[in-house]
Structure 1
Amino acid sequence: MQAELKLRIASGLVLAAVVLAATWIGGFAFQLLSVAIGLLVYYEWSTITKLPERDFQGNALGWLAQVVIAGLVLLDYMHISLPGLALCVLAAALWVLIKGTSWWLPGGIVYAGLTSISLAAIRGADYLGLMAMLFVFAVVWATDIFAYFTGRAIGGPKLAPAISPGKTWSGAIGGAIFGVLAGVAVFMAHFSLEDLRIPVIALVLSVASQIGDLFESFVKRRFGVKDSSRLIPGHGGVMDRVDGLIFACIAALALVLGQFLLAGGREVAFGAILLGL
């Protein structure tokens, strides 16, 4: 076995152990993980888009925004985290308009901020949150794995050759099918499948995951970067590992907010809505 492959496997096992342990514990442990991922995502985003060189003061504003979001998440002020993020993005947008600098600044604040918020909101601290997070993990990981193997086995027309030449329509469809099956399997391991919204939710999250993968590929191609960083030995950067997860979690959060509004603003449990209970 080559040294690079051994390193990739070892670092992957360590990452999986940390993520699953924090997911199982929930509460502050998972909030801390969510914040760490969000901060690392902003670091990689700002590095890829060269924000420190383009706009040092604006990038400092971006870091301040991430600290604010991190504080709200860690203090469990989830009910004001999205308004807090919106204010940070507004401040960054005004900075760009006044200084004429890069719109990649507010884009990075949104991308990294929603990463922390959506992850922490899904997991929460109860059993339903644990099941909801495992549901999302199952969909995203199965989509990613089987999109690769299905695409390699079947081939065919390219999905988005200008963005990611290796991805095919067969891989995207195969990944979506197995992502839905994995999500349904996780759900049925704990609940009875009486609500047909569950496969639909899994499909939405699978598609969102693949869009997230393409989005990160677009950003890296736009700036001529192969990996988002070298933070993870053998794997590249954090964004390279969580690009699909980010968009899937954001999609899940959007589904919940939509249900919340349709329910007339009454208090609802995130996990209960996500899992259709």
Structure 2
Amino acid sequence: MKTWDGATAVVTGASSGIGAAFATALAERHCNLILVARREHRLRKLATDLEHTFGVRARILTADLSIPADVERLVAVLSADDNPIDLLVNNAGFATHGPLVDDDPARMREEIAVNITAVAELTRAILPDMVRRGAGAVVNIASTAAFQPIPFMAVYGATKAFVLSFTEALWGELEGSGVTALAVCPGATDTEFFDVAGEAASVGRRQTAAQVVAKALGELDRRAPRPSVVSGLANAVSARLPRYLPRRTTIRLTRGLVAAK
């Protein structure tokens, strides 16, 4: 198990759920943290708890990644930091549920901005220094939604397909450089995600955030991490299933699973 002793990790969406679980697991491995989210009070409490419990440094940066100016400011702060970043966890993201014709255009833009644009821009900002040093990792949280179209969650599924493809392509570019890129694909996870997306978006048995993080860090512990991993055996089976079904059948199946209940 890597300790990440003295390393520095940036975790977005760190105020709850998978992001907070990543922060806790990394602090347990003696990793210093830069925690990013919108909710300052939650970030501050988490940072204080981790510093007291594990003796690490935990810095907070508040930002709304749906706002381009906030992303630009975050990039500027991280780029100016004297401490190199050893691990970037692009975890922030959200989903909307319902027919596209009823989607609020502003909300749709925010979903794309957080799930795609911020991921790409933060990765682009932090990656060059990792490559120069020949060390580091980028972990992007995708989803089992990435493996097939999702009617009634069309935008979300498409954004996660982007994250999966983007990250696996980076893995190919970085192979042999000492830097790795890993896409982590959870299924339904017991977090605040469904407070936004709604219960109709939940399919299958939920994992805990800690289980998802353990899968991700376990993969990074490998001598040669793979480009992507699916968290949970049942999720791994369902992610592979669309390869063997006609496309129309796959779309109809997913439509039935996530249609308004």
So what's the TM-score if we normalise by structure 1?
0.31
Quick check: which has more Rg, 1 or 2? 1
Q: 1 or 2, which has the higher strand percentage?
A: 2
* Larger helix proportion of the pair: 1
Pick 1 or 2: higher relative contact order, CA cutoff 8 A, min separation 6. 1
TM-score by length of 2: 0.32
